Amino acid sequence: MKKFTAIFAAAAVIASLSACGGQTDAAPAADAKSEGVMTYADYAAADVDTEVTIETYVQDKQGWWENEGVGNATFYTQDKEGGYFLYNMPCSKEDYDLMVPGTKIKVTGYKAEWSGEVEIVDAKYEIESGDTYVATATDVTDKLGDNDALSAYMNQYVTFTGLTVADRDGAAFTYGWDGSGEQGSDLYFNLNDANGNTYTFVVESYLRGADSDVYKTVESFEVGNTVDITGFMYWYEGPQVHTTIATVK
């Protein structure tokens, strides 16, 4: 098992007990799983490259696209125990349109890891009827500076409050990681916490494009602004939230 996955598995204990604690006064009861379906703790403990089967709920999705006649999309999903990132999952456009936030799906695929991000690839799914679930963002501002603690919330819907826009290559944001992009590219920006630690956030263009409110808000950032950020706890060599809401205080 890779080093990061070992951390991720250990953090699952924290996640299963407290990841949803910011949603209500008491953490909701865990979902009952169908036969052969892993709990989140089982999934977190599984080795990379092994087959996994989960039940989860769609929270958001990147744009649908077609390659050589096969439709694909990337989904952000979550249950009451943890989050799952379904990378380039083959699906029809009809099913893509059906998988609105809250939709329950059963997924079988392979656990993978890329630059620290734990995801499911080569996935197959079934849309399930019955209950729905839409997560409320969990405030993890106090976890900044502790990547082990933050990793317990990987792929979950989270929020950060009272951060400060920091300089990024002489500006408040860049189009593309290195500034070589243009409007419509992924939008990167740096934020400082109360202790002066700097973190990189991104508006993923396939998730929220240039015409979205969050994209336009980040384009209006000025260095020194105080902001609140909400999005999905993606990981790239450390936390790099895929931002869906940005508010300038």
pLDDT tens across 15-48, in order? 444 444 444 334 456 678 888 999 999 999 999 9
Please tell me the predicted confidence (pLDDT) of residue 62.
98
**How far apart are alpha carbons 121 and 43 in whole angstroms?**
14
- Which of 102, 128, 154 is the last residue before a domain boundary? 128
Domain count, the chain: 2
Residue 17 lies in a domain: yes
Name the domain boundary from 101, 128, 155: 128
Which residues, including other chains, have CB under 8 Å from residue 42's CB and lie 6 or more apart? none
Q: Do 73 and 9 fall within a single domain? A: yes
Are 243 and 162 contained in the same domain?
A: yes
Q: Give the per-residue pLDDT at 25.
A: 38
The upper half-sphere exposure of residue 32, i.e. CA atoms within 13 Å in the direction of its Cβ, equals 2
DSSP 153: T
Domain's final residue, options 87, 106, 128: 128
Task: Name the amino acid, one letter, at 115.
Answer: S
Judged against a pLDDT cut of 50, whether residue 146 lies above it is answered with yes
What is the enclosing helix (H) or strand (E) of 149? helix 147-151
Residue 80 half-sphere exposure, CB side, CA atoms within 13 Å? Answer: 15
> Using one digit for the tens of pLDDT, what is the confidence trace for 100-112?
999 999 999 999 9
Q: Is residue 168 domain-resident?
A: yes
Predicted pLDDT of residue 31:
76
Instruction: Provide CB contacts within 8 A for 114, sequence distance 6+.
Output: none
Note down the domain range covering 169: 138-248
pTM confidence score: 0.89
CATH number at residue 163: 2.40.50.140
CA distance 163 to 193: 5
44 within domain boundaries: yes
Q: What is the mean pLDDT of residues 105-120?
A: 98
Report the Cα 181 to chain-centroid distance in Å: 23
Question: Is 81 a residue whose pLDDT tops 70?
Answer: yes
Strand partners, 66: 71
pLDDT higher than threshold 70 for residue 234 = yes
Domain match, 98 and 9 both: yes
167 and 142, same structural domain?
A: yes
Residue 72 has pLDDT above 70, yes or no: yes
Rounded average pLDDT over 221-243? 98
pLDDT for 10? 46
Average of per-residue pLDDT values in the chain: 91
